[in-house]
Amino acid sequence: MASNYRKLVSAIAANLLTALFCAHASAAEEPAVDHEWGRFLREKVSFSGFVENTTGLSISHGSHFFNTSNRLDMQRFTFQPEFNIDVAEKFKMFISWRFVAEPRYNAETKSREASVQPAGTGRALPWDFWSEYKAVPWEVVANVAPTDNLQIRVGRQFISWGETDGQRLLDVINPQDLTIAPPAAVNLFDLDETRVPQWGLRMLYTVRPVSNTILEFFANPGFEPKKQRVDEFMPTNDISDGKADGDLRYGRWSSHPEDRMAVARLFTNPNAINAAIIPPQFATAARTVVPTFTRDYPDAGDNWKIGTRLTHSFGELNAGIGYIWGYNPQAGDMVFKTKGVGCLPPATGPLCRIGAAGPFLPTTLRASLVNDQTNIFAAHLNYPIGDPLGIPIKTALRGEIAFYPSKPYNISEFPAKNCTTGQVLTGDFAARAGPSCKHSDNLVEKNTIRYALGFDRSTYIPFLQDDPWRAFRMTFQIFQSVIMDHEDGIRAFGHASKIRKISTLLTFRVGTGYLGDTILPDIFFGYDPAGYYSVNPGITYQPPWNEKIKISLTSAIYGGHNKYSGLGFFSEKDSIFLKLRYQF
């Protein structure tokens, strides 16, 4: 049904554009001023868009991701045509397509050959893996205003509740494409550029105009291809859902893999740990767990996402409360669900042994990577702080909060234990972490609160800026996640890295303009008090002779005390990028 629906929308859009272009050609042949179609095209239809090329080079040292002389890690060409159509005063349409040409990368292929497990399966990606050239519009939205107080938007669109910069909190309605660029690089691609549109309906009703009281409702039925129903990301190893169109591929923007221990040991111990004696020739097989990890996407018929929000202005304070039901699209919130533990054939029994006295064989594990269907209770506020008590603060305050009831997490024992005896495993069976003895499915549900506070201020700094009318724009944000009734051992789904009860991320951004805003420097910092950081400086040049051209030079730099958590995951991904854009 979803496929037929997309084909129908594509056909309608194609026919509409054909009609518009044919009408334009007809108008050219018949230059009558009052020609109906010619007048409609001139007065009601506008064409715009952009062409962009982004080139990136790795500048990391000692990186096993880029261990070849060819350090090219981005050569992305994007063409996005856009049409605005004023059909009537209360009926407008917007249609855009996005076409991307991007090659596969030699460095990425070398990294896949060396890193993807089992060894020998990390082949080169298809030559057009990164390209996009679908007939389905990137956006196609009809805006209808039946009354002055009611607005209806229907089609493939973006719905964003969040206003945070560079990081998401309430911006969880549309998924993000996390495969095209490294994280926290807002001067390269911001959240608006990586967000994926979805088919849906959005209605906004102004209950009381004088107080800007607006009631909002949205519903996304889930017509998208499986990868666009939730965040698409690059895992630390290839993961398949059993079909080619659902495979997740390890690649150049994958986080650092868990190489301190075998990942399968996070979910189960080898069955042979209970053997009294293991002959030396079988020791390696006896302590091995062979995993089969798969990706389970939300089913198309069960992928509805609905939500409602009420916003109101109390003088200068604007605030709102909202509710979202549906699958949580965020890649970092996924969990592995264990589906079964067994023995490598022909071994059987509790010790994975062939017969009563035969050789020991490895234990097998089956687990699926899933998104959680959840309820999200949300609230936000915006308030301009002026001069309280005569103190010139003059700062805009932003706040967002989200409550996730019974949010699932993977959980393990640190270090690995024999859950039968309660003893810490030693020798050949020792591991940094192992399956939870308390939670047999290695999952635990905890109420979780996430919030963000942002402070925006413009300040003139005389010794850095000679234009008294051009201030520095500064933004400071604090993000925190609080796991209620926290248990030791809660960890990231694919790593032996614990998640603390309170996780914190601080960001600071500053930007300004020089020479009549033709030179625009900007820098974005991210800092995790656990010991990780990111730096994303950028400078943009807009030539005074053509404001449609932008030339940007930016870099993404990461670091920390290790490579197994937070921004440290990407400490081998330092890169520099040159972006050229022409807006037409």
Q: How many CA atoms lie within 13 A of 67 on its CB side?
A: 11
Whether 69 has a pLDDT exceeding 80, the answer reads: no
Phi-psi region of 531 (alpha: psi -120 to 50; beta: other; left: phi over 0): left
pLDDT digits (tens, 9 = 90+) for 383-433: 999 888 888 889 999 999 999 999 999 999 999 999 989 999 998 899 999
Where is average pLDDT lowest: 211-225, 306-320, 455-469, 491-505? 455-469
Instruction: Over range 503-530, report the average pLDDT.
Output: 95
- Region 140-153: mean pLDDT is 96
Place of tokens 């010794």: 463
CA distances from 65 to 62, 107, 298 (A): 9, 7, 31
Question: Is-contact 41 59, C-beta < 8 A?
Answer: no
Distance between CA 321 and CA 159 in Å, rounded?
16
CA distance 570 to 563: 7
* pLDDT score recorded for residue 538: 97
Predicted confidence (pLDDT) per residue in 173-202, tens digit: 999 999 999 999 999 998 889 999 999 999
Give 272-317 pLDDT, tens digit per residue.
998 888 988 899 999 999 999 999 999 887 889 999 999 999 999 9
- Beta bridge partners of residue 556, listed in sequence order: 575
Separation CA 146–CA 427 (nearest Å): 73
Write out pLDDT tens, residues 11-63.
444 444 444 444 444 444 445 545 777 787 888 899 999 999 999 999 886 55
Each residue's pLDDT tens digit, 214-262: 999 999 998 889 999 999 999 999 999 888 777 899 998 999 999 999 9
Angstrom distances, CA of residue 497 to CA of 310, 313, 345, 412, 507: 39, 43, 32, 10, 22
Do residues 308 and 215 lie in contact, with contact meaning Cβ atoms separated by under 8 Å?
Answer: yes
Task: Verify cis geometry, omega within 30 degrees of 0, for the bond prior to 405.
Answer: no
Q: Within its chain, how far is the Cα of 34 from the centroid?
A: 50
CA distances from 582 to 51, 292, 384, 515, 550 (A): 5, 46, 35, 20, 7
pTM of the prediction? Answer: 0.89
Confidence of residue 2 (pLDDT cuts 50, 70, 90): very low
What pLDDT score was predicted for residue 34? 52
Smallest CA-to-CA distance from 230 within 296, 131, 306, 184 is with 296
Angstrom distances, CA of residue 35 to CA of 19, 23, 92, 386: 15, 10, 21, 56
Helix (H) or strand (E) holding 283: helix 283-286
DSSP 8-state secondary structure symbol assigned to residue 164:
-
Encode 182-206: b = buried (16+ Cβ within 10 Å), e = exposed.
bbbbbbbbebeebbbbbbbbbbbeb
pLDDT of residue 137: 94
Write down the domain spans for the chain: 2-583
Distance separating alpha carbons of residues 174 and 171, to the nearest angstrom: 7
Euclidean distance between CA atoms 15 and 25, whole angstroms: 15
Q: To the nearest whole number, what is the mean pLDDT of the chain?
A: 90
Architecture of the 2-583 domain: Beta Barrel (2.40)
Q: Is the confidence at residue 362, as pLDDT, over 70?
A: yes
CB atoms within 10 A of CB 150: 14
| CA 326/CA 376 separation, integer angstroms | 9
| Partners of residue 78 on adjacent β-strands | 52, 100
